[in-house]
Structures are given as C-alpha cells and as structure tokens.
Amino acid sequence: MAYLKPGWFTAKVFNKIAMAAGISGSETLTLTARRSGELQQIPVISVAVDGTRFLVSTRGDSQWVKNLRANPAVSLTTRAGTERFAATELPVGQRPPVLQAYRIKAGKTVDRYFAKLPDPADHPVFRLTPA
C-alpha cells in the first residue's frame, strides 16, 4: 500500500503545534504502538457521516494506521475533553462517501495528498464506535 512520508518539519514541529492549538479542527489521536507498546499521539481530523465518526489517513499506510490495525482501542482529545473509541477499518468499496466528506471538511490542505494518491484503496478509513 502507498505511503507519503511527512517531512521533518511536519513530523517534529507542525504536528505538535496542531495538537496543542487544534489547527483546522484537529484532534489528538492517542493509540498504542504495535511494537513498543508506548502511546503514540498524532493530529487528525475526524469526520462525521450519517452520525458516525471516521478517521481518514490522507498519507496512506502510515505508522498510526498500522498501529490502529494492531490495537483498535483509541482516544480522541479536543478542548472539550477525551473520548474513547474502538476503530474498525472500512472496506475500500465503502470509503468514497467518507473520503468525500473528509475532503470537504479538511479543505484544500489535503488536495495534494489525494492528487498523489487518487485511489480510495490508498486511504485507510476507520469507523469509530464509542467504547
């Protein structure tokens, strides 16, 4: 599966600022790393479709995606608080409406990722069920 690795600035600087400030409606996803067992935190933007929340990986088969597949228990933190979820990956055929809603919510910032990875199979999508 495809993956667009973030640059040093994004990984080491911007992501921390995005989580602290909630830039563009970002939330902090906390999950367990599959090898070390340590907690991993990354900024994400969840999207609701028909009353269900979803996570989308714009960069493809990232480390957080692999970690989520190994341990689907996650939490999302916003200024309003922290919620816990169980994540389930959607089959490719069910992804297009979620990807479309995500692109509308996230805006032009994500267009370049979808231009480089146009196939819905390249963007893992996870349904979040409250735990």
Calculated CA dihedral for residues 77, 25, 66, 122, nearest 10 degrees: 160
Range of the domain at 14: 8-130
Q: How many domains does the chain have?
A: 1
Is 44 or 15 the better-scoring residue by pLDDT?
44
What are phi and psi for residue 13, nearest 5 degrees? -120, -60
Q: Is residue 1 part of a domain?
A: no
Q: How confident is the model at residue 127 (pLDDT cuts 50, 70, 90)?
A: very high
pTM greater than 0.85: yes
Q: Is residue 22 part of a domain?
A: yes
- Mean pLDDT, the chain, rounded, equals 88
